[in-house]
Chain A
Amino acid sequence: MDNGCFSSPRRDFPAGLRVLVVDDDPTWLKILEKMLKKCNYEVTTCCLARHALNLLRERKDGYDIVISDVNMPDMDGFKLLEHVGLEMDLPVIMMSVDGETSRVMKGVQHGACDYLLKPIRMKELRNIWQHVFRKRIHEAREFESFESFESIHLMRNGSELSDDGNLFAVEDVTSTKKRKDADNKHDDKDCLDPSSTKKARVVWSVDLHQKFVKAVNQIGFDKVGPKKILDLMNVPWLTRENVASHLQKYRLYLSRIQKENGHRSSSSGMKHSDFPSKDLESFGFQNSVNKQQNDVPIDSYNFSDGSLQPKNVETKSHEGELKKIVSQSTVAEKGRALTGNIADTNMEESSRIGLNQPFVPLESEANHAVFDCNMPLQYSWSEVPHMQLKEDHKSLVNLGDNFSQLPLHGKQHHIRVDQSQSVASISSTPSITDEEVAACAEPKPLFADYKNDYASSVSSIGNAVVDTFPIQSGSLVMNDQSSESISTSNSVLKTQGYNNLSGISDLEIYQRNLLLDEDLHLYWLQGESYNMNFGLQNIGISEYYDLGLVTEAPTHLYDSADYSVIDQGLFIA
């Protein structure tokens, strides 16, 4: 079960965990090596901190976790910890024969994930994989929030393009092409960079970090912001989000150092949260503006969604945390999306009344759970699915390729599959789906718990379909709003939905929705179909960016259902 969720390429997960042990005491080094080997871990030992740092820098993806002694002659273990935290972002376990609270605290403050007292027991080492696992989960979460940024970011680009080409819907082909070209650049780079592909994160090499620090100093610490830094650094493949997260760490790091010097900096802590939220807001607005034109034809849909969206925006601004925002928005969106679909046939009003209700009852917590499961894996994955969608759009045949290229998580796989299916079968539906997807994304926080569930959900796609309905629960809440805010929000809605796309769960939902649509025999309007295209394109963009992120996928999931599904999709095509 663990293995399934874990993003490591190895199946037998904790076995083969790559551990770097740093201790100036040769006796302990030898004992630890033996112990770790007995745990089936892959061990590298090193008696100098500087040497360890070099090893880590040379092989950026060569280790999963570092165990370091606190007292070493050439470099304080805390310093090593700091470097490892900043440059490679690996979990570090500190060890010492001392259990003084102040020292342990210092270790934790510097980012140690654990502090072991010598003599260290084998059972303690046997368990260290949990830190690697936990870290990945956190990254997944973090990433999600970033992703939503990213997708937003992308959206912006997309909308700019659309401006040139007018409406996405109308100019489908051309705009897609343009985007494709633009995306390909990113795409290539991401693929070329193995570390990004593997880790789903930028590895901050010494050079990169120095560039970063230089940029920060040039701008001035008070005025510094991710975008400015990004511009100054001039590293093409780096994203604003990468910089933002690093800036955040850097600030923590500085504040820690300041604390040690007896100064307290209050500013460092606060700022980051502001940046993201602002961006989001502006973003959302922009999108809305651009998109409105497109949306017009779709009316019923958008409205319902739109109403929801405004809410989201507000929430965002209030809350510094991206995640929360996203989740809220997503929920809202879900509801909308569902409603929207229904509405199409009948119109906005009807959606509220008739469809929502029936669906609502269905929603059960179980559904949510399913979502959540997806979320943890997510970061990379979400994007992948998008990609597929795009591809599907153009030609279903491509699907196979995408698969092989992108190592996806099991979840992703099936998600994709569904998408492809749905796309194929329903040409026009997608617009709704996109929105829905966005909505779905949010459950993140829960995900850890759901992992297990996830597996089961994966096994049977059919279940997922059923789940779609439940998702709509969100819609219940939303309905009121949707009807109210109709006119203004249309554009907003769409964009948001796109943003949200990042989450896999979204995709799933989307799929589900699609399925539902089919089942229900809903009627799509032409205008709606346009929307679809739109959504897809946007999605596609985000995918490209993310490709790098797509990490090692557990292969086994892959094999089972996904393939078959894919095949079906092909057939449909």
Chain B
Amino acid sequence: MHSNSFHCSLSLSLYSSTMDRAHSRRHVASMKQSLFDQGYLDEQFIQLEELQDEANPNFVEEIVTLYYRDSSRLISNLENTLERKPLDFNKLDTIMHQFKGSSSSIGAKKVKAECTLFREYCSAGNAEGCRRSFQQMKKEYAALRKKLETYFHLARQAGPLETAFRPK
């Protein structure tokens, strides 16, 4: 009898935790979907998820972390270059090209779009446009970082069974 009730309560708690996890997993999924829906991310992000396996269970997060660590160097590089008085558009373009390439690695769609705009201003010699799009790019860059941090945090809580699914 005793053992039986113990068994009951155990299975109840198991049940509730399973419910929790299912719930939080759903939450994670919907958050990811919104990142796609709002245009923050593109297909490349799913590519990264598909690369995740037993050998690298946190592959996506590692890549995103690496991206933010490495690209901050490029951003400060851009900032410095933008402060020079006659703007060196060639140099700006080169750095931004690099930054864009890097941003393509995690599927940072909005950031990439700003990069493209920035480079158009570069080739047009539009200094004001460059500065404006740079600020916008930084904003998107930071916003995505925040969203991804939240996402990874939730995903870790929800457990490892997170599988990739295609956005609409």
Contact = CB atoms under 8 A, between A and B. Distances in A.
A27 B107 contact: no
Contacts of A69: 101
A27 B51 contact: no
Interface stretch (B79-87, B92-100, B126-134, B137-145): B92-100
Interface in B31-52: 43-44, 47-48, 50-51
B70 A26 contact: yes
A27 B59 contact: no
Question: How would you classify the secondary structure of chain B's contact residues: helix, strand, loop or mixed?
Answer: helix
B97 A97 contact: yes
B164 interface: no
A25 B106 CA distance: 12
A119 B98 contact: no
Given A31-B48, A121-B47, A26 B101 contact: no
Q: Report, as a range, how many residues of chain A touch the other chain.
A: 10 to 19
A118 B104 contact: yes
Contacts of B66: 26-27, 30
A533 B70 CA distance: 70
A191 to B, nearest CB: 41
A35 interface: yes
Contact of B102 (A28, A34, A121): A28
Contacts of A28: 101-102, 105
A38 B55 CA distance: 11
Contacts of A96: 101
Given A26-B66, A27-B70, A118 B94 contact: no
A373 to B, nearest CB: 39
A69 B94 CA distance: 13
Contacts of A31: 48, 51, 63, 105
A572 interface: no
Most chain B CB neighbours (cut-off 10 Å) among A31, A38, A122: A31
B67 interface: yes
A27 B68 CA distance: 9
Contact of B47 (A25, A26, A71, A122): A122
B44 A119 contact: yes
A98 B70 contact: no
B55 to A, nearest CB: 8
Interface string B51-75: 1010010010011001100110000
Interface of B: 43-44, 47-48, 50-51, 53, 56, 59, 62-63, 66-67, 70-71, 94, 97-98, 100-102, 104-107
29 contacts: A25-B70, A25-B102, A25-B105, A26-B66, A27-B63, A27-B66, A27-B67, A27-B71, A27-B102, A27-B105, A27-B106, A28-B101, A28-B105, A30-B62, A31-B48, A31-B51, A31-B105, A71-B94, A71-B97, A71-B98, A97-B100, A97-B101, A98-B97, A118-B105, A119-B43, A119-B44, A121-B47, A122-B47, A122-B50
Nearest 10 CB-CB pairs, A to B? A97-B101, A119-B44, A27-B105, A27-B67, A119-B104, A118-B104, A27-B66, A34-B51, A28-B105, A25-B102
Given A24-B98, A27-B66, A28-B102, 19 more contacts: A25-B70, A25-B102, A25-B105, A27-B63, A27-B67, A30-B63, A31-B105, A69-B101, A71-B101, A96-B101, A97-B97, A97-B100, A97-B101, A97-B104, A118-B101, A118-B104, A119-B47, A119-B104, A119-B105
